[in-house]
Amino acid sequence: MTHTVQELTHPAVVCRRVTKDFGAGDNQVHVLRGVDLDVPFGEMTLLVGPSGCGKTTLLSVVAGLLNPTSGAVMVLGEDAGSMSGNQAIEFRRRNIGFVFQQYNLLPALTAAENAAVPLFAAGVPKKKAVAAASSLLSELGLGDRLHALPSQLSGGQQQRVALARALVHEPRLVVCDEPTSALDHATGNAVMELLTNVAVRPDRAVVVVTHDSRVFRFADRIAHMDDGRIVETEEDQSQSAVKTFGHQPMYAEVNS
């Protein structure tokens, strides 16, 4: 897929004064309270913050899974807030890859079949879809586990299958929800390295929600959230492989 220079110079995601409320009346909860966020192409942006600060809700809004209550959300140049249900589904299918905290692999499908699910959803014939997924899984180091069921894979291997599923249809935005929280340190690092090396491309943006401060070093940009707002955005200041941020606050490792 080719993109114009103008497209790529614009951020992949632009949020302006985004709010999101749940419930009504006395039970109304203001989860997002005016979020401003830019997610550039070619970078990995981390959304970090304490539990209940609105990270996952913001990720859902960015991914087109939730509509904002107010504010503007432009994703890949499209107004995500004004899409109809079917338009949003089609948009997600074409443009967004998902990596979930609990992997959410289908237990009855093999690794290759799981990774091919977005292609099945797009109507690609099974043989072709599985071949594409198998090729990607091989790139991710799972060439010898293509026919294994999720129950036969370790946590790290399952997350790699989930990563392949997120990338197999060449999305322009990849959203990851706590991709390392269920993994040990070494496996989490390996997954983040793969994410950095395989997912981040000049024509693609990656947004990761995480509590895990050990993976901050993989980020190009870190947006700190608190109480429904982005309170600080840090950019990687170095040009070296080892990234340096001003500070790396630790957050409680309990998801909201």
DSSP string, the chain: ----HHHHHS-SEEEEEEEEEES-GGG-EEEEEEEEEEE-TT-EEEEE-STTSSHHHHHHHHTTSS--SEEEEEETTEEGGG--HHHHHHHHHHHEEEE-TT----TTS-HHHHHTHHHHHTT--HHHHHHHHHHHHHHTT-TT-TT--GGGS-HHHHHHHHHHHHHTT--SEEEEESTTTTS-HHHHHHHHHHIIIII-BTTBEEEEE---GGGGGG-SEEEEEETTEEEEEEE----SSS---S------S---
Contact status: 92 vs another protein (CB under 8 A): yes
Binding region for another protein (CB under 8 A) out of 28-36, 83-91, 225-233, 244-252: 83-91
Q: Which residue, 116 or 236, has its beta carbon nearer to another protein?
A: 116
Q: For another protein, which residue of 10, 34, 77, 120 counts as binding (CB under 8 A)?
A: 120
Q: From the CB of 94, what's the least distance to another protein, in Å?
A: 7
Binders of another protein among 41-60, rule CB under 8 A? 56, 59-60
Residue 109 C-beta: closest distance to another protein, Å = 5
Q: Cβ 98 to another protein, closest distance in Å?
A: 5
Identify the residue among 5, 25, 107, 247 touching another protein (CB under 8 A). 107
Query: Is the CB of 159 or the CB of 236 nearer to another protein?
Result: 159
121 binds another protein (CB under 8 A): yes
**Which positions touch another protein (CB under 8 A)?**
56, 59-60, 63, 65-66, 86, 89-90, 92-94, 96, 98, 100-102, 104, 106-109, 113, 117-118, 120-122, 126, 165, 177-178, 209, 255
